Amino acid sequence: MDFDLGPALLFCPADRPERFAKAVERADAVILDLEDAVAPDAKDAARAHVAASELDPARVIVRVNAPDSPFFADDVAMVAGTPFRTIMVAKAEDPRAFDVFGADHRVIALCETARGVSRADRIAAHDRVTALMWGAEDLVASLGGTSSRTSNGQYRDIARHARSRILLEAGAQGKGAIDAVHIDIDDLDGLAAEAADAAASGFRATACIHPAQVATIRAAYAPDAETMEWARAVLAAANGERGVFRFRGRMIDEPLLRHARAVVTRGA
């Protein structure tokens, strides 16, 4: 159940079907959102739009409402009747909630509350889970806070802790990790820096809320020519070496070779 949808995942309100096709065209995958993007009185219509869509299931994620919400059961029933098999569960806190999905479903658990982040290890271990994602604003709200960032635009310590924990727990279970959205749409420099850090740290994708953010995310995840050349060269050199060896003035061992393999994979 490897995660292979990234790197740029674009949210699209499920009650705006006229945007579905364009969202898929512009991003690597679209997240059809039945949760926060849809008002309570529009949930039924949104489900109908998702069920009627003819998008490629391989490039669609359906975000359903939280398991403790009154909308979850209807979301699950709707998805079961569609070809869509990658489901993002909002405000995931209890991995037992994923048991309602079939064995052919892939779950992206969105850990965006204090309880969800604190249980990330158990959530990541569930056999339906293919990836974890975190959310800064809902997390801070669950703690009674008012902002995930300081005045200079950087994440507060609590947000950085949650981000790191999601990446670590996903990695410990061999699952993918998805970085949170950058809500300042016009701050492409800030997005570029965060996406580059996400890629270098091991995140598999970054979610976004506007098509204008897609190119920035893709560029951040794509290795530059110099890095690709080094990765390919050091892997070629490793074929004739055993154990630790020297390459271009650096000592190379297996962890650095794994870094190089990750670079080549991202650049493929």
Annotated binding-site residue numbers for Mg(2+): 112, 138
Q: What angle do CA 69, 73, 78 make, to 5 degrees?
A: 130
Give the residue numbers of the binding site for substrate: 63, 112
Give the residue numbers of the binding site: 63, 112, 138
Question: Which residues contact residue 73 at a Cβ distance below 8 angstroms, ignoring those fewer than 6 apart?
Answer: none
For residue 267, give the amino acid letter. Answer: G
Distance between CA atoms of residues 106 and 243, nearest Å:
38
Pairing label, strands 129-134, 176-179 = parallel
String of DSSP letters for 204-248: SEEEESSGGGHHHHHHHHSPPHHHHHHHHHHHHHHTT--SSEEET
Pairing label, strands 250-252, 245-247 = antiparallel
